[in-house]
Amino acid sequence: MSPFGGWGLLLAFLALLCCTGSGEEAFEVRMWPEQLMVESGESQVINCSTTCMQPNTSGLETTLHKTLLEEQAQWKLYEVFNISQDTDVICHFTCSGKQESKSLNISVFYPPKQVLLKLWPTLVAVGRSFTIQCRVPSVAPLEGLTVTLLHGSEIVYSQTFVGTTLSPQEAMVTHNTTAHREDGRHNFSCRAEMDLRSRGGDLVHSVSDPQALNVYEPARDNQVVAIITVVSVLLFLFVTSVLLCFVFGQQWHQRRTGTYGVQAAWRRLRWAYRA
């Protein structure tokens, strides 16, 4: 037997193995985006694709309303609507009788649409304490939410929340501080920032309306006390002068008539009454 005949049989056997393996070659199913976090009620476009050159069937399984936007042999583009709660969508392809699938979890978030700032008291003396409170209602998830209190562009206080609760709830930050003379030169504000980038979302933020703090010097209190004291002294001097004038007038009347004017007036009043 020719040695070339042996090599021919070996090459034929390897070719048979290669052809058999190519029919059962594995393929992949991919989805884009790979992570997804959307605001409640929004829609989203999802791409399903495969490495199989000629897939037999394909589709997107979801409880959401969906529309096929565009398709080619190896990919399909869908849009899903009104995402109001966390859900899973599954993309599948069938190639040479074998089915592969890929799932995507869609998470829903509630952004900080309202940021409410409150200062109390709004009128405070230098060196006295006051309170800054910031509320962010109906926000979720709390994980990744940072609430920052600002005086102008300077950070007064910042707090990052933790927790896995997905239902909307209120986030609140309260900070007590001491009033300084320069606190009245710039407004206070509150910034709520939600970082969802690690979960397939974006960086979402909102800022409160600015609030002014009225700061005054404690010396003004002393001035008010001084004014009240001066007015009281002047009033006392006025009353005293009136009384002295009355007393001296009565003495002068007594020296001229022998009686006090008040006594004479009293007697005339009594005689008029008896008559």
Residues 6+ apart with CB under 8 A from 233: none
Does the pLDDT of residue 169 top 80, yes or no?
yes
Quote the pLDDT of residue 8: 45
pLDDT for res 237: 86
Mean per-residue pLDDT for 15-36?
69
Residue 76 confidence (pLDDT) above 50: yes
On the question of pLDDT at 15 being above 80, the answer is no
| Band (255; pLDDT cuts 50, 70, 90) | low
Strands (DSSP E) found in the chain = 29-32, 36-39, 42-50, 57-61, 65-72, 75-83, 87-95, 98-109, 116-120, 123-125, 129-139, 145-151, 154-160, 169-178, 188-195, 203-207, 214-216
Chain centre to alpha carbon of residue 271: 86
- pLDDT tens digits, 125-160: 999 999 999 999 999 999 889 999 999 999 999 999
For residue 33, give the nearest of 68, 86, 78, 83 by alpha carbon.
78
- Identify which of 22, 43, 47 has the alpha carbon closest to the alpha carbon of residue 34: 47
Say what the pLDDT of residue 71 is: 96
CATH topology match: 27-109 vs 116-216: yes
Domain boundaries, the chain: 27-109, 116-216
Superfamily of domain 116-216: Immunoglobulins (2.60.40.10)
Which amino acid would we find at residue 137? P
- Single pTM value for the model: 0.65
**What is the CATH topology of the domain spanning 27-109?**
Immunoglobulin-like (2.60.40)
pLDDT class of 79 with cuts at 50, 70, 90: very high
Task: Note the pLDDT tens digit of each residue in 30-66.
Answer: 999 999 999 999 999 999 999 999 999 999 999 999 9
Residue 272 has pLDDT above 70, yes or no: no
Q: Which residue has the higher pLDDT, 14 or 261?
A: 261
Q: What is the pLDDT of residue 171?
A: 95
